[in-house]
RNA sequence: CGGGGCGUAGCGCAGCCUGGUAGCGCGCCUGCCUUGGGCGCAGGAGGUCUGGAGUUCAAAUCUCCACGCCCCGACCA
């Protein structure tokens, strides 16, 4: 019985995370180091994430396509900083059909190069622009240290790739996607994120500007939720993506790319979970409500199940994702704990007493114990359930935001910053110098997460060197 | 790649020091009993002890060599 309990988050956050992912059956380890099997429950969550995003991408004019997994190695080498950034983590295919290949192929670590190659063929005129394509796929990066969902050799994601006629349009697209992701993070994942700009040291290999959303996990560390890159003309020049403008002049395109991966599953776990297990935000939860029927005799079973099925239908018809727990020989108490561990936002308990009263017990996952339980009449159950789901969605966001605020320090001097990054975010004036950034990283292990888009204005003294600074930046230890 | 830990039943571990019939808990199967917060009882199935080599009458146990995984750093969505 003792080993049914998870380690608590405060005693070992990392172990809490690992065990929870395995026990809740979100994922499992694969035979190859660093690879992950996403199990049905985890994939169901990912499907809800992809649906919420895909709908937003399409609403902003993007279309989906599929580009190949294998890329000629020389493609990667065409963009100077891209090759420098990705070479160490490439998986290379050297043999095919029993023969050594004349030119090795790499398994895509990201698709800028192969898509750039295609765009060069497809784009001839300003009339062909903009090109707004997204793809859902998996990519491979030979990471040294892996962790389920957060960093695996192969990971699932989407990568959007766009080409534009002007620098301004490319920048607008890059920023538009930051807004789309921010909306998704806040309203679907219930995660407060800080949209911001990356430093030169932290930006994408081949980008002029990288924007990211940064989120605080339950242990105070930062996680990069997703990124959006303005690639300038770097890839356009490397792959000769050109168009004739209205004046008949040959111009290089301006391109962007933006991506979000299965890592956000890890973010959802680490932002919302508690010592009892997962807590999924209702809008993304595979099951929004689990019904636990309770009965002793066969006679009770018949009446309870009949009533339970009626409620199940009514809720499903109203658009609620319902799971009926019909497992036999397992006590209700076990099921309560089980669904709590699995993060289902609402639980509906139905026993003979409830049937008699034509009511149910609703238990909120975000409020443990009796406090979260309420008796609700069966009449109008769907409306009551939907309202509670909305409340939970909002409560999770509010709680995460309050937690982040409680662990974010406006660090005026270096001592403050050092202390702040031990437990959360430091928000400080930064002069923009890579030297200061590097020193801070070396001395505190805290890295420059982003320069928030929202700035207070004015100026102050750089937290490290004391020189005049006009921007504030977030420093934190990161995943 | 540096540091640490670990490979014994599906999972978690003991046994190893001091060599001699491979064990415990959970899970699983069958039956009974139970079911409103992680039920109970009885019976049962399940193992080339990560791999290889060596020492020995005898190796999970001692020696050497591989391999794998996890955790902590550097790198990263």
Note whether residue A278 is domain-resident.
no
Distance A19 CA to B70 C1' (A): 12
Longest dimension (CA), chain A: 84
Q: Of A357, A388, A419, which closes a domain?
A: A388
Nucleotides in chain B with any atom closer than 7 Å to protein CB: 1, 12, 25-26, 33-39, 68-77
Q: What is the pLDDT of residues A371-403, one digit of tens each?
A: 899 999 999 999 999 999 999 999 999 999 999
- Tokens in use for A253? 């395109």
Instruction: Tell me which residue of A251, A254, A211 sits closest to A235, measured CA to CA.
Output: A254
Q: What is the pLDDT of residues A51-85, one digit of tens each?
A: 999 999 999 999 999 999 999 999 988 888 888 88
Q: Of A329, A354, A388, which closes a domain?
A: A388
Q: What is the pLDDT of residues A80-90, one digit of tens each?
A: 888 888 888 88
* Complete DSSP assignment for A7-20: PPTTT-HHHHHHHH
What total of structural domains would you count in chain A?
3
A window 338-397: Cβ near strand B (< 7 A)? 338, 340-341, 349-354, 361, 363, 369, 373
A295 touches strand B (CB under 7 A): yes
A126 touches strand B (CB under 7 A): no
Nearest nucleotide to A368 (CA to C1') is B37
- Tokens in use for A407? 């662990």
- Cα distance between residue A338 and residue A332, in whole Å: 10
Note whether residue A284 is domain-resident.
no
Indicate whether A357 pLDDT > 50.
yes
Q: What is the pLDDT of residues A302-330, one digit of tens each?
A: 999 999 999 999 999 999 999 999 988 88
A478 touches strand B (CB under 7 A): yes
SS3 A34: coil
Q: Are residues A265 and A325 in the same domain?
A: no
Q: What pLDDT score was predicted for residue A314?
A: 97
- Cα distance between residue A62 and residue A275, in whole Å: 40
A29 touches strand B (CB under 7 A): yes
Q: Of A246, A272, A298, which closes a domain?
A: A272
SS3 A400: helix
Note whether residue A279 is domain-resident.
no
Indicate whether A2 pLDDT > 50.
no
Domain with A464 in it: what CATH number?
3.30.110.30
**What is the b/e burial string over A315-325, where b = at least 16 CB atoms within 10 angstroms of the residue's CB?**
beeeebbbbbb
Domain with A352 in it: what CATH number?
3.40.50.800
Domain that holds residue A342: 289-388
SS3 A106: strand
A290 phi, psi to nearest 5 deg: -115, 130
Q: Are residues A188 and A313 in the same domain?
A: no
- Tokens in use for A241? 């993506």
Q: Are residues A190 and A297 in the same domain?
A: no
**Where residue A99 falls among pLDDT bands split at 50, 70, 90?**
confident
Q: Are residues A101 and A180 in the same domain?
A: yes
Distance of CA A12 to the CA centre of its chain: 22
Q: Are residues A204 and A347 in the same domain?
A: no
**Where residue A114 falls among pLDDT bands split at 50, 70, 90?**
very high
A window 187-216: Cβ near strand B (< 7 A)? 202, 204-205, 212
């Amino acid at each position: 019985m003792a080993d049914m309990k998870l380690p608590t988050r405060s005693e070992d956050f990392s172990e809490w995370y690992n065990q929870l992912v395995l026990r809740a059956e979100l994922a499992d380890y694969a035979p190859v180091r660093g690879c992950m099997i996403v199990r049905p429950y985890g994939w169901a969550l990912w499907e809800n994430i992809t649906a919420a995003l895909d709908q937003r991408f399409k609403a902003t004019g993007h279309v989906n396509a599929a580009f190949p997994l294998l890329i000629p190695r020389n493609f990667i080498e065409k963009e100077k900083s891209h090759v420098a950034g990705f070479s160490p983590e490439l998986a290379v295919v050297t043999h095919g059909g029993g023969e050594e290949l004349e030119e090795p192929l790499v398994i895509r670590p990201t698709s800028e190069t192969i898509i750039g190659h295609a765009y060069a063929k497809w784009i001839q005129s300003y009339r062909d622009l903009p090109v707004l394509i997204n793809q859902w796929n998996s990519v491979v990066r030979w990471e040294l240290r892996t962790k389920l969902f957060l960093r695996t050799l192969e990971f699932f994601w989407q990568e959007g790739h766009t080409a534009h006629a002007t620098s301004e349009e490319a920048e607008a697209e890059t920023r538009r996607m930051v807004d789309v992701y921010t909306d998704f993070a806040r309203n679907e994942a219930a995660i407060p994120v800080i949209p911001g700009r990356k430093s030169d040291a932290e930006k994408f290999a081949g980008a002029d500007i990288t924007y990211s959303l940064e989120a605080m996990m339950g242990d105070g560390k930062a996680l990069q939720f997703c990124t959006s890159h303005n690639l300038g003309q770097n890839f356009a020049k490397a792959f000769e993506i050109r168009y004739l403008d209205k004046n008949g002049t040959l111009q290089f395109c301006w391109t962007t790319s933006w991506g979000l991966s299965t890592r956000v599953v890890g973010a959802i776990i680490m932002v919302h979970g508690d010592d009892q297990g997962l807590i999924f935000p209702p809008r993304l939860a595979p099951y929004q409500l689990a019904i636990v029927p309770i009965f002793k005799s066969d006679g009770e079973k018949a009446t309870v199940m009949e009533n339970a099925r009626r409620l199940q239908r009514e809720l499903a018809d109203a658009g609620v994702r319902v799971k009926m727990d019909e497992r036999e020989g397992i006590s209700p108490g076990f099921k309560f704990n089980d669904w709590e561990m699995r993060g289902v936002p609402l639980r509906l308990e139905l026993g003979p007493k409830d049937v008699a009263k034509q009511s149910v017990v609703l238990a909120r996952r975000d409020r443990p114990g009796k406090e979260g339980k309420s008796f609700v009449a069966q009449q109008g159950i769907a409306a009551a359930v939907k309202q509670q789901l909305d409340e939970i969605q909002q409560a999770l966001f509010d709680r995460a935001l309050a937690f982040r605020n409680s662990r974010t320090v406006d660090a005026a001097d270096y001592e403050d910053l050092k202390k702040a990054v031990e437990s959360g975010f430091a928000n400080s004036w930064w002069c923009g110098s890579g030297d200061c950034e590097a020193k801070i990283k070396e001395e505190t292990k805290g890295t420059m997460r982003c320069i928030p888009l929202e700035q207070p204005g004015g100026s102050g003294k750089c937290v490290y060197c004391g020189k005049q600074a006009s921007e504030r930046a977030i420093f934190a230890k990161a995943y």
